[in-house]
Structure formats: C-alpha cells, structure tokens
Amino acid sequence: MPGLPQGANALLKARAQLLDKRSSSGDLRELREKLARMGVVVRDEKRRQYWRLSQRRA
C-alpha cells in the first residue's frame, strides 16, 4: 500500500491471515506491536483489521 512504511504491508497481510484462522491472540499482539513501532496503529473488529498511520511515526 502506498504511504505505509516498508514491510508494514507484509505484517498486515500476516495479521489478516491469523485473524481468519482465529489464531492465538499472542501472535496477533506481537505483530500489532511490530506495526506500532513502524508507526501503524491497528484495530481489530470481529475478524477484520483496520489500520491508520500514527500521528507520531517512528
């Protein structure tokens, strides 16, 4: 996706696959933390994720 930090798109895709498989929340949390360090805020609702760029990007 344009505007995302390098590597963030791959992490978002990996999280989406984990959400579809209803994987453990620990794996999802780890990827969310990696994205947060890149300046991407992720919110989950049902089995979908929504993201936005943080105001304070790393």
User: Which of 52, 45, 11, 57 minimizes the C-alpha distance to 31?
Assistant: 11
**Whether pTM exceeds 0.85:** no
Q: How far apart are CA 54 and CA 25, in angstroms?
A: 22
Q: Are 42 and 50 in contact, with CB atoms under 8 Å apart?
A: yes
Give me the chain's average pLDDT, please.
88
Can you give the pLDDT at residue 25? 82
pLDDT tens-digit series, residues 7-31:
999 999 999 999 988 877 888 999 9
